[in-house]
Chains A and B, each alone.
Chain A
Amino acid sequence: MAAPCSSMMYAKYGAAAFTAVNASIISKAVAAPTASVGTSFQGLTQQQAMTLTTNLGAFLVVAYGGPNTYQGKSMLAAHQGLNITEAQYDYFVSNVVVPALSENGVPTADIMNCFAPPVTEKKAGSVKCDTVQSGPRPSGCP
């Protein structure tokens, strides 16, 4: 289960901070040299990029305790067919998500204690277990 403070991050940092982190994540993902994270994001049309930005932003907001306006697919459905491996996911978390948070001024303590659980937990229905759908299953995922 996510740490209680995960659900307090939106209230603590606010909409503008979440928008900034979301933009950083998108920008870093476009630059990524890996499969899925990189080339998928590089191939987006302007409309697709807007849809992705909206969905990702809304997902981050609800994952960290903000109002639920997410209208995208489930994590499982959204990543079907993308062949995302655990290595791709680990790259995304370490080289996209963590730098996006730290460069936008989120202290290390909040990254570790509050932002980490929703993206690192391994259990049925967790973001990681539902996103990694190719290659060996991450240990701890059903």
Chain B
Amino acid sequence: MAVPWATRGAAGLVLALGLVGLAHAPPFRRELARAACPLGGAAAATPGKREAARVEALESRRGAGPAPRRDVTGLELGSATVDTAMARLGVDEASCSLDRPGLVRECRVGGKTLFLRTDESQRVVALASVEREPLGLAPRRAEALLDAWRSALGPPHRQLGAFDGATLGAGVLAQARAEWRFSDLVVSVAATRIDEAEVVVTLEAQALPPPSLRASR
């Protein structure tokens, strides 16, 4: 007896769904990871897609006009090569570890941690630094950082809280933050009380490509 096509199709669909469901059972998820299944582990996104995601997520912080300077970190973000950046910032490759996608170097430089983010062509597009300071010294350190960026980029476009002992002494996760938002560069300096005794001072600078370049990625 001939089986109607609709019945055969439905049976095939049920079988396929069953196999997919079985494959997602915990014992088989490692195999799925190799096949880049969303539940099995991180799929292998290309460096270009990751860079496009970074830029897209920064769009809400893109400002109206270009930054007066783009080399304020000691290198031209968006065009400096990794080698140039490491040399200019005095970073020894031996102090760095590379993340799994091969896009971020995490380096120990003096008392701070430096993150160098590259794009698909290994140009440095962003950097961040994280350093811990004792609560008593942190306001001075953060204020010095803020002053350096203020003199380079002008007054911040946004500032939350004062970089002083009163703000940071208020409690854990008390924070002072300043942000500069240009069309080609986004910068933030923050001081955050991270526990009873210490403050984390962070600097983040991210290059933004012109919108026309972003569209062509």
Contacts and interface: CB of A to CB of B under 8 A. Distances in A.
Contacts of A39: 50, 99-101, 103-104
Given A47-B38, A48-B43, A83-B99, A42 B53 contact: yes
Interface in A18-43: 27-28, 30-36, 38-43
Interface in B9-66: 36, 38-39, 42-45, 49-51, 53-54, 56-58, 60-61
Contacts of A38: 54, 104, 117
B126 to A, nearest CB: 3
Interface string B96-109: 01011101101000
Nearest to A138: B195
Contacts of B97: 35, 83
Contacts of B185: none
Interface residues of A, number: 43
A102 B101 CA distance: 31
Given A43-B45, A44-B42, A88-B106, A34 B173 contact: no
Contacts of B177: 99
A33 B194 contact: no
Interface stretch (B82-90, B149-157, B198-206, B209-217): B198-206
Tell which of B39, B61, B175, B177 has the most Cβ of chain A within 10 Å. Answer: B175
Contacts, number: 140
Given A39-B104, A93-B192, A116 B172 contact: yes
B50 to A, nearest CB: 4
Interface in A61-107: 83, 85, 87-88, 90-91, 93-95, 98-99, 102
B202 to A, nearest CB: 6
B194 to A, nearest CB: 6
Nearest to A31: B57
B113 interface: yes
B127 interface: yes
Given A90-B130, A112-B171, A35 B200 contact: no
B207 to A, nearest CB: 10
A127 interface: no
B172 A120 contact: yes
B57 A34 contact: no
Contacts of B127: 33
B132 interface: yes
A45 B103 contact: no
Interface string A104-128: 0000100111011101101000000
A112 B99 contact: no
A69 B56 CA distance: 31
Given A39-B50, A113-B171, 6 more contacts: A31-B61, A38-B104, A44-B42, A45-B45, A47-B39, A87-B130
